[in-house]
Amino acid sequence: MLAVQVVTPTGPTDVQVREVDPPVPGPHDVLVEVHSVGVAFPDLLLSRGEYQFKPEPPFTLGVDFAGVVLDPGSPESSGFTVGQRVAGVNLNGGAAEQVANPAIFTFALPDSLSYDEGAALPMNYLTALFALEERGGLREGETVLVHGAAGGVGTATLQVAKGLGARTIAVVSTDEKAAFARAAGADEVVVGPDFKDAVKELTGGKGVDVVLDVVGGDAFTDSLRCLAEQGRVLVVGFAAGQGIPEVKVNRLLLGNTDVRGVGWGAYAMTRPGYMQQQWHRLAPMIESGVVKPPIGATYDLADFGRALVDMDERRTLGKSVVRVR
């Protein structure tokens, strides 16, 4: 079968589509015929050998995927059946014609979603749910400010926040991204790096209850300044590439505010059953239509490396997807 592999960890332009042996499922795995693969930031880091998880090359990329069950293993334990549509997530291995994935990291894909949408769901939407609910303690009626709101995690956060009953303010860098964030469900959109004053105006001077920050850099300090009393900044990533921002903790004391880290993967993968609980939490949001992943660019399997370069150079909107078949 064909798989997208890192042979040498020298970056996305060097990933290769290679012929490899089909996977052999373990006793707790589901064998899936892959139709679509999400393009994820960990794939980019893995291609460079910069991710905290460092498999020995050659290895197959692909964090999240969607397809059809070929072998459910034990139906009694996995709950899946042959031919069932599923989505799944793991540290790697999904960017191939077949993947053997743990049943606990594999989810029933509703018929209302395409394979592309299924491949866009697991990592971004489960991260957003973990950030807002588990780490952010988001309550109905609160206001969430989302940085990088036209990206994959950003659009997921807009939709999950809406599903949890919150008001959303999207921060983006261009008018094109503003239109994309609005289409994804943002209540308000602010364009440009000088978002602080606009946010104060939109909240009547109160500030926001939660900030989800995938950008870091110069925006971080202004995010703290945007918080309402008892507000929370959720640190998800540092896409700005400007280094790791620092917190003057006296600001937290004076405003009764928090800065909280969000590391969904390390948390969820060490708690069997947690991802399934999260998926069930998302199910009514999918059914209502509030969660429907916006797909940006789509690519052929041979262009997986180009998809990673486009993401790295911030040319993509929403979630990019590679079509395997």
pLDDT at 242: 61
Place of tokens 């460079």: 48
**The two three-digit tokens of residue 154, written as one number:** 């950003």
This prediction has a pTM of 0.95
The whole-angstrom separation of Cα 124 and Cα 316 is: 15
Residue-level pLDDT at 243: 67
**pLDDT at 77 (0 to 100):** 76
Residue 46: phi and psi, rounded to 5, are -60, -35
Q: Exposed, middle or buried: residue 22 (CB in 10 Å: 0-12, 13-18, 19+)? A: middle
Q: State whether residue 309 is helix, strand or coil.
A: helix
**What is the full per-residue pLDDT of the chain (325 aa) written as tens digits?**
999 999 999 999 999 999 999 999 999 999 999 999 999 999 999 999 999 899 999 999 999 999 999 999 987 778 999 999 999 999 999 999 999 999 999 999 999 999 999 999 999 999 999 999 999 999 999 999 999 999 999 999 999 999 999 999 999 999 999 999 999 999 999 999 899 999 999 999 999 999 999 877 778 989 999 999 999 999 997 665 566 778 888 889 989 999 999 999 999 999 999 999 999 999 999 999 999 999 999 999 999 999 999 999 988 999 999 999 9
Q: Which amino acid is at 57?
A: P
For residue 130, the Cα-to-chain-centroid distance in whole angstroms is 11
Q: b/e map of 171-186 (b: 16 or more CB within 10 Å)? A: bbbeeebbebbbebbb
Query: What does the alpha-carbon distance between residue 178 and residue 157 come to, in Å, rounded to a whole number?
Result: 15
In the block, tokens 């993947």 appear at 99
Burial of 148 (0-12, 13-18, 19+ CB in 10 A): buried
